[in-house]
Amino acid sequence: MSSVSPYDLSEAASGLVRAPDLDGDACAAIVRDPGPLPPTPAPPVSATSDGVRLAELTTMRVGGPARRVVTATDPAQVVAAVQAADDAGEPLLVLSGGSNLLVADEGFEGTVLRIASRGIHVESADLCSGAVVKVAAGEVWDEVVQVAVEQGWAGVEALSGIPGLTGATPVQNVGAYGQDVSQTIARVRTWDRLEGRIRTFTASDCQFSYRHSRFKGAMTGASPRFVVLEVMFQLEIADLSRPIAYADLARGLGVDLGTRVPLADARAAVLQQRARRGMVLDAPDHDTWSCGSFFTNPILSAADFEQLRVRVTARLGDEATPPAFPEADGAVKTSAAWLIDKAGFTKGYGLPGPAALSTKHTLALTNRGDARAADVLALAREVRDGVADTFGVRLVNEPVLVGLEL
């Protein structure tokens, strides 16, 4: 593995996809490089700890000890920590907010890298191209969304309340309520462990799809090839949200689908929806001790969806029909939560056991206080296999499993 100077992290910027040029009057008021927004204070130097239980660093609150936890506060420290682990031949786990991980009870026999770099920097802001904003990988994602709403940048307001850090968002192509980050990401700057160099990917190079990306596809188990250092977003300058694209959110706002509402109203409505489903972190509430949605929504071919419809009718009657959302090439996305519920796994299934479905949302598997990873995994298998037996659809886990297999 080649080495890199901590001061040699530059790479020629890739071109951004710009909005079509408007007339001169529309572009007259241009703000160029207003400078960095005040960052949240960060630790001044990297730190290393041994034997930290990963249960303390994940939202599911399960997982045994790590051999070593390294906290890096800038891109040079991130690269140095990755190289040190690679040079030593140690397994590497990059930990974001810990919200999308299920870690084995035995822990992780390697280096866990916590990225704590901070900074939100406005590269440019004008009515032609919108706000081009560079965000450090260690920025808390919901705080980034809050800044966007306060600054009048539209495009991520429906992603309010999602736990984790900004660097994780392109990996999973994080999305909710009709938005996902692929709609606003301009480029992603990474450390390529295989080639030992900084690489920047434009949005078209990221191979985004539903809850997937080039970066996720290049992972070996929980080990990444690409370690995200920063993400650049291109956001619309607007007082109103992007068109509301999710039915429950539109109902909560009292508007029709496709309506644009004040950014602050959209954010508040999303946070309310997420809280109602137990998807906003709240330590006293065990419904939030989870990885969020544990299974992705299945995307089926037209033929497979027709088979699902037949099985639903046989089980639930002629009037029952599974949710259907058109996808590319005639495919159909359906609802994992609906399938789980109709297969008999209702809210709170598993109580009073150590692991149970959330009492607010069937798609969240939760730790009721003293669950082990094995308890969560046993429940996940029961739900997955029950849905497969009932409806012929095999659910796929969304969280990354570390030292475990579903």
Integer CA distances (angstroms), 303 to 54, 70, 299, 352, in order: 43, 49, 12, 39
Of 117, 116, 115, 100, residue with least CA distance to 63: 100
85-94 burial code (b ≥16 CB/10 A, e <16): beeeeebbbb
Q: How many CA atoms lie within 13 A of 378 on its CB side?
A: 12
Helix (H) or strand (E) holding 338: helix 336-342
Active site residue 301: no
Max CA distance (Å), the chain: 66
* Catalytic residue chosen out of the listed positions 182, 213, 293, 358: 293
Catalytic annotation, pick one of 143, 236, 327, 398: 398
Please indicate whether residue 143 is annotated as part of the active site: no
Q: Does the annotation count 319 as an active-site position? A: no
Cβ-based neighbours of 25, under 8 Å, separated by 6 or more: none
Distance CA 97, CA 229 (A): 15
* First and final C-alpha spacing in the chain: 32
If you write DSSP's letter for every residue of 192-209 in order, what string do you get?
ETTTTEEEEEEGGGS--B
Catalytic residue chosen out of the listed positions 211, 225, 251, 309: 211
Instruction: Collapse the DSSP code of 170 into the 3-class scheme (helix H, G, I; strand E, B; otherwise coil) and give the result.
Output: helix
CB-CB contact of 30 with 126 (8 Å): yes
Active site (catalytic) residues: 211, 293, 398
